[in-house]
């Protein structure tokens, strides 16, 4: 194990263990700002270009281009004025190419490319794409007469979009999250649990590990040394200003607001009715050295349990047997950020930290593999689509009809975007569900309809994304985190969160309101397990 650990690079920088003083923080911020300001060009390249331009302009004749447009050839100027003009012209010469590359080449032609959203097996032509844009314009024109100026914001949105990366981001954060008047727990909190298997540590040791890892992760974000989502390909602007670690949701009469504090040096601990402030850094600003019950009950407690600061951006709860979980305030970010933090957390905890061999406080160890199936890989059924079809089948059994269903996804197709929506119900999925309840349909017919429904499913992927690629979740399912859960967004609806490892097991969290009269999470769990068994039987060799 030690040799394998030495070959793995930690996703969290382990060499940043000092809390930054004001000078160090200023130096980090200046360094990060320079790299971000000159992106995609390195600062030293900009500096070399600036120095070369200054040397060239300083020794060139004032009658040459472009100096003849800057200097007055008839009236001699003071040396300081001449140097200032040469410096300004050199700065413009060095920075103008960077500005054009970032704002024209990258932003307009690469980052804004969304053609893949319209490109599928049918391969629509360019004329079809133009027709679609023309249709949207005609639709907006047709509704302009029946909407008020406040309702018809198309022109204002276009104007606003020229000054921001995504004009929807601010609206979404304010009205989807901060404008909510319902309790934050369940309605605006995301619960999470760490590992499948219990960690050989008691509550205090596990808490120390969590504080240590999260402090390293926080400092890594400050230093901008955390690899972005999607193995470095996906931009995550929700880490700006340390929202994940230093944010408090301040209540208001009509709308709340987020207050972001500076980098934290302590953690607040609630234990046996007392609140403690525990410093994570010593007097020299150095990070201190690292020295459940059933899962459904534990996850329910993470989502709606006691002793939570629902307004804080991040909470952790430790059980006596070392199992860890918590809640996160949803307005600060989406599942991609939570997933990113937890995958880095688990990978570092397993590969770079050790626990005592003898542990006395392990209450129980739960290995949850109820939905494991040996399924023939040649059937080419996508894992996510397979589970989504099972959800549709279970829902039809419970409701007796098809209902509006959406699958949330942090696809990040747009700059600073939040949660996108994927619609699950389709003609193909409905046909498959009906065939499963039709005794006259053969097994081969049902399998064919299942394959068609899965192919038509919009989310074309083989599993829930592993955003860091730090852990082989199919090979080592016990080394992955258990995922997250959320409350139902509809009073009469269900909320389901999926963690899918196609070769080993599935973990599905289901929640519903106790006041709901038409839905029941426990009943749906039984129907979903039954539906998964029935569908898995279709994929077995026969």
Active site residues: 330
Alpha-carbon Rg for the chain, nearest whole angstrom, is 28
- For residue 54 the two structure tokens come to 């200054």
Task: Give the long-range contacts of residues 147-154, CB within 8 A, separation 24 or more.
Answer: none
- For residue 364 the two structure tokens come to 């129980």
What is the rounded distance in angstroms from the CA atom of residue 481 to the CA atom of residue 299? 12
Q: What are phi and psi of 251, to 5 degrees?
A: -70, 145
Task: Pick left, alpha or beta for residue 123 (phi over 0 → left; psi -120 to 50 → alpha; otherwise beta).
Answer: left
Burial bucket for residue 441 (CB in 10 Å: 0-12, 13-18, 19+): middle
Find out whether the peptide bond into 542 is cis, omega within 30 degrees of 0. Answer: no
What is the rounded distance in angstroms from the CA atom of residue 317 to the CA atom of residue 165? 36
- For residue 297 the two structure tokens come to 């009950």
What is the rounded distance in angstroms from the CA atom of residue 388 to the CA atom of residue 189? 24
Provide the 10 A C-beta neighbour count for residue 246.
Answer: 17
Give CA torsion, residues 20, 24, 25, 30, to 10 deg.
Answer: -160
Identify any residues that bridge with 192 across adjacent strands, giving them in sequence order: 326, 484
Query: Is the separation of the CB atoms in 428 and 453 below 8 Å?
Result: yes
- CA 328 from centroid of its chain's CA atoms: 12
Helical ranges in 457-495 per DSSP H: none
Is beta strand 481-485 parallel, antiparallel or unpaired with respect to 420-423? unpaired
Longest dimension (CA), the chain: 99
Find out whether the peptide bond into 66 is cis, omega within 30 degrees of 0. Answer: yes
């Amino acid at each position: 194990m030690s040799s394998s650990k030495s070959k793995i690079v930690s996703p969290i920088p382990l060499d940043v263990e000092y809390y930054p003083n004001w000078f160090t923080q200023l130096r980090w911020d200046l360094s990060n700002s320079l790299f971000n300001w000159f992106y995609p060009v390195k600062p030293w390249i900009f500096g070399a270009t600036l120095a070369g331009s200054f040397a060239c302009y300083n020794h060139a004749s004032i009658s040459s281009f472009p100096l003849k447009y800057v200097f007055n050839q008839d009236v001699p100027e003071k040396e300081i004025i001449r140097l200032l003009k040469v410096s300004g012209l050199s700065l413009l010469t060095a920075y103008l190419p960077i500005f054009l590359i970032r704002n024209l080449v990258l932003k307009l032609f690469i980052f804004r490319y969304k053609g893949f959203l319209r490109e599928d097996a049918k391969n629509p032509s360019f004329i079809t794409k133009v027709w679609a844009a023309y249709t949207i314009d005609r639709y907006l024109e047709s509704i302009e007469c029946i909407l008020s100026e406040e309702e018809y914001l198309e022109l204002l949105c276009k104007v606003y979009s020229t000054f921001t990366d995504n004009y929807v981001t601010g609206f979404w954060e304010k009205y989807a999250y901060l404008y909510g008047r319902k309790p934050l727990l369940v309605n605006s909190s995301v619960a999470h649990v760490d590992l499948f298997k219990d960690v050989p540590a008691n509550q205090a040791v596990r808490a120390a590990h969590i504080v240590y890892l999260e402090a390293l992760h926080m400092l890594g974000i400050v230093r901008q040394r955390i690899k972005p989502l999607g193995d470095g390909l996906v931009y995550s602007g929700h880490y700006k200003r340390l929202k994940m670690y230093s944010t408090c949701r301040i209540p208001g009469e009509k709308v709340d607001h987020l207050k972001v504090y500076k980098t934290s040096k302590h953690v607040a601990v609630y234990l046996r009715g007392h609140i403690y402030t525990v410093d994570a850094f010593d007097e020299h600003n150095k990070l201190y050295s690292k020295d459940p019950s059933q899962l459904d009950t534990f996850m329910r407690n993470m989502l709606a349990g006691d002793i939570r600061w629902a307004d804080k951006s991040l909470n952790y709860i430790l059980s006596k047997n070392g199992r860890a979980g918590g809640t996160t305030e949803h307005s600060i970010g989406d599942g991609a950020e939570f997933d990113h933090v937890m995958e880095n957390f688990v990978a570092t905890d397993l590969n770079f930290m050790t626990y005592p061999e003898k542990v006395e406080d392990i209450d129980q160890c739960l290995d949850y593999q109820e939905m494991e199936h040996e399924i023939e890989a040649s059937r080419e059924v996508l894992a996510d689509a397979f589970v989504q079809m099972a959800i549709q089948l279970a829902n039809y059994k419970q409701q007796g009809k098809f209902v509006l269903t959406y699958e949330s996804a942090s696809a990040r197709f747009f700059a600073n975007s939040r949660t996108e929506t994927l619609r699950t119900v389709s003609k193909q999925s409905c046909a498959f569900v009906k065939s499963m309840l039709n005794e006259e349909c053969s097994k081969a017919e049902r399998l064919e309809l299942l394959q068609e429904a899965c192919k038509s499913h919009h989310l074309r992927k083989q599993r829930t994304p592993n955003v860091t690629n730090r852990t082989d979740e199919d090979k080592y399912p016990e080394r992955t985190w258990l995922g997250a859960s959320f409350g139902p967004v509809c009073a009469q609806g269900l909320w389901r969160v999926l963690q899918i490892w196609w070769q080993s097991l599935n973990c599905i969290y289901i929640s519903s309101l106790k006041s709901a009269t038409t839905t029941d999470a426990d009943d749906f769990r039984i129907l979903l397990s039954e539906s998964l068994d029935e569908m898995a039987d279709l994929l077995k060799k026969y």
